Amino acid sequence: MIDGYGKIGMPNEALELFHSMQQCRIEPNYVTFLGSLSACAHAGLVAKGREIFESMERDYSLKPGMEHYACMVDLLGRAGNLQLAWEFVAGMPEKPNSDVWAALLSSCNLHGNVEMASIAANELFKLNAEGRPGAYVALSNTLAAAGKWDGVSELREIMKSRGILKDTGSSWIGTESCSARLQRFYRRILDEDPKKSPSSDNRTVDLHDLGPGAQDFKLISLIGYRGNLKSKELHEI
């Protein structure tokens, strides 16, 4: 339930359950802590997240795993504390794995720190150069946002030489027609070869008309959507 609350955007409820467990003397396990730390990250509760993380070993004799360290890096990074996130990684008792570096890279992309993003990406690629296509995209977007197009081009060439491809993004949309079925829409990459597009059973469309002036954009803004208008996602690899 703690994990579920966190995933559906109800971090306060997740943390209330965690506190209730403690009051009832039900000892949390590794999964409980992971769900609670994730909830803190999504809610921006840095101090609470630190407290929970430190209590693992101190109060329950549970040694944090790499996934817990990655959650802490995500927590600090999302909140904009990139230097603290970096120091946290540097102070880890074990060598960080690719999940930890990916969390730091994601935060650098979010806040536009090119230098730290490059370091995190290089460390990640040393550990897993071919299994993390999203990391290449995150670094590419960070470079593009900073106007470093030479770096973007160089990264594209590296991906091509390594045979790394990023899966085409897609969304499932339910219809209320008589057939009442789910329809899958694919996002077409700018330089994608139409002949290599997904099968004709699915709709392939260019999703570029949802700008700030569009009527649909105004409607979704009323229910809380906030787009990242500084994003360079049209330049994704």
Q: What 8-state DSSP symbol labels residue 79?
A: T
Q: Which two tokens stand for residue 119?
A: 């370091």
Give the pLDDT mean for 12-21.
92
Q: How far apart are CA 214 and CA 208, in angstroms?
A: 11
| pLDDT mean across residues, the chain | 80
Which pLDDT belongs to residue 220? 54
pLDDT in tens, 57-116: 999 999 999 999 999 999 999 999 999 999 999 999 999 999 999 999 999 999 999 999
- Least-confidence region, from 38-42, 74-78, 182-186, 196-200: 196-200
Which pLDDT belongs to residue 216? 55
> Are 119 and 140 contacting, i.e. CB atoms less than 8 angstroms apart?
no
Tell me the three state secondary structure of residue 186. Answer: strand
> Are 141 and 235 contacting, i.e. CB atoms less than 8 angstroms apart?
yes
Which pLDDT belongs to residue 222? 56
Bigger pLDDT: 87 or 130? 87
pLDDT in tens, 17-44: 999 998 999 999 999 999 999 999 988 8
pLDDT at 213 over 80: no
Which pLDDT belongs to residue 173? 63
Q: Using a pLDDT cut of 70, give the percent of the chain over it.
A: 70
Tell me the three state secondary structure of residue 75. Answer: helix
pLDDT at 194 over 80: no
**Band of pLDDT at residue 164, cut at 50, 70 and 90:** confident
Q: Which of 68, 107, 67 lies closest to 85, judged by CA?
A: 107
Q: How far apart are CA 120 and CA 197, in angstroms?
A: 32
pTM score over 0.75: no
Q: Helices (H) and strands (E) in the chain — how many of each? A: 11, 3
Q: How far apart are CA 118 and CA 114, in angstroms?
A: 6
Which pLDDT belongs to residue 31? 94
Q: How far apart are CA 42 and CA 218, in angstroms?
A: 25
- Output phi, psi for 36, to 5 deg: -70, -40
Which pLDDT belongs to residue 192? 44
Which pLDDT belongs to residue 218? 57
Q: Using a pLDDT cut of 90, give the percent of the chain over it.
A: 55
Position 185, amino acid = F
Tell me the three state secondary structure of residue 123. Answer: helix
Tell me the three state secondary structure of residue 191. Answer: coil
pLDDT at 128 over 80: yes
